[in-house]
């Protein structure tokens, strides 16, 4: 996969040289390039922003440098993607614009984006990028404004660090043991079960006995029920989406104990619970 990140603070992306993502780059699994937006300006001051039409606080990023930068990275990428697909038809790169006004970035989005050939991240600063850039870009990219969550960061860079890590670790060969991708939070629409390691007793706290039992069936069931308990407690919103149609009886009982009944394959919180 090829990833291009365009930012006025390229140094912000330095952590992408470390750890699993850094190793994936070294191993040639991920071709990640960071570009300075100011390199695509034409004036002496390398200006990237101006005052907003209609007034208001802050500055808006100018369209010209963005169009130059995005044209350049799309052209570079299509060269690299020459082998793209057996049919030879090159897919449009995906332009991800981090913004609190974007659609929510989830684990499902990460899986979807991990299938792409080229991702381009456009890091906005100030009040954002002139809207016409996104309209123009739709001819050359699949444009996806994306939000990490309902809070406001100072710019897109931190969001890009998070999204690139979430996507990059799903690429084949990046995570050493791919099984660890299966049993983790959000892989099945639930939060992960709690984990423990040695010693089995620590500061008067014992590891749950079932985990020392060697009974793999019981352990799997305990872990599943812990997922249900945790998700009900911390993220009940996830349970509304959970497919409960094929749950075994013991799991329905576990949900009943948490105050949820299965109605038409969906979990419904009992009003009295
Ligand atoms: N830029 C500023 N805030 C953001 C957020 N919540 N998600 C993604 N990008 C952002």
Q: What is the pLDDT of residues 214-227, one digit of tens each?
A: 999 999 999 999 99
Helix (H) or strand (E) holding 34: strand 31-36
Give the pLDDT score at 83.
Answer: 44
* Residue 120: burial class (beta carbons within 10 Å; 0-12, 13-18, 19+): buried
Mean pLDDT is lowest, of 86-100, 170-184, 243-257, for: 86-100
Task: Check residue 105 and report its DSSP letter.
Answer: P
Give the pLDDT score at 88.
Answer: 52
Give the pLDDT score at 89.
Answer: 58
CA nearest ligand 1 atom 10, residue: 99
Q: For the residues 48-72, what does the mean pLDDT come to? A: 98
Q: For the residues 246-272, what does the mean pLDDT come to? A: 96
Q: For the residues 241-245, what does the mean pLDDT come to? A: 95
Q: Which of 32, 40, 27 is nearest to 14 (CA)?
A: 32
Tell me how many degrees the CA angle 235-175-7 measures, rounded to the nearest 5: 75
- What is the distance in A from the centroid of ligand 1 to the CA of 5? 15
More confident residue, 229 or 126: 229
Pick the atom of ligand 1 nearest to 152's CA.
3
For a pLDDT cut of 90, what percent of the chain falls above it? Answer: 88
With bands split at pLDDT 50, 70 and 90, how would you rate the model's confidence at 80? very low
Distance CA 158, CA 148 (A): 10
Q: For the residues 170-193, what does the mean pLDDT come to? A: 89
Of 5, 58, 98, the residue with max ligand 1 atoms within 8 A of its CB, to mutate for a pocket test, comes to 98
pTM of the model: 0.92
pLDDT at 85 over 80: no
Give the pLDDT score at 79.
Answer: 58
Q: For the residues 40-57, what does the mean pLDDT come to? A: 98
The token pair at 70 is: 């995005």
Q: Which of 196, 167, 147, 197 is nearest to 20 (CA)?
A: 167
- What is the distance in A from the centroid of ligand 1 to the CA of 101? 8
- What is the distance in A from the centroid of ligand 1 to the CA of 154? 8
Distance CA 160, CA 121 (A): 7
Give every CB contact of residue 190 below 8 A, 6+ residues apart in sequence.
227, 228, 230, 231, 238, 242
């Amino acid at each position: 996969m090829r990833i291009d990140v365009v930012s006025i603070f390229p140094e912000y992306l330095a952590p992408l040289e470390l750890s699993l993502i850094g190793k994936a780059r070294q191993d040639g699994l991920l071709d990640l390039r960071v570009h300075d937006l100011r390199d695509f300006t034409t004036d002496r001051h390398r200006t990237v922003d101006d005052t907003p039409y209609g007034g208001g606080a802050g500055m808006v990023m100018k369209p010209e440098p963005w169009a130059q930068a995005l044209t350049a990275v799309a052209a570079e990428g299509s060269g690299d993607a020459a082998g793209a697909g057996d049919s030879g038809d090159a897919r449009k790169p995906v332009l991800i614009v981090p913004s609190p006004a974007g659609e929510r970035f989830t684990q499902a989005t990460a899986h979807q984006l991990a299938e792409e050939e080229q991702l381009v991240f456009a890091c906005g600063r100030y009040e954002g990028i002139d809207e016409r850039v996104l309209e123009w870009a739709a001819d050359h990219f699949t444009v996806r404004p994306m939000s990490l969550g309902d809070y406001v960061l100072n710019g897109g860079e931190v969001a890009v660090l998070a999204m690139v890590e979430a996507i990059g670790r799903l690429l084949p060969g990046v995570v050493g043991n791919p099984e660890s991708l299966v049993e983790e939070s959000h892989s099945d629409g639930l939060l992960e079960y709690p984990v423990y390691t040695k010693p089995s007793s620590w500061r008067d706290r014992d590891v749950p006995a079932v985990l020392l039992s060697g009974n793999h069936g019981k352990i799997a069931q305990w872990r599943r029920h812990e997922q249900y308990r945790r998700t009900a407690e911390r993220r009940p919103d996830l349970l509304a989406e959970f497919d409960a149609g094929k749950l075994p009886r013991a799991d329905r009982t576990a949900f009943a104990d948490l105050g949820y009944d299965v109605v038409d394959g969906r979990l419904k919180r009992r009003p009295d619970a």
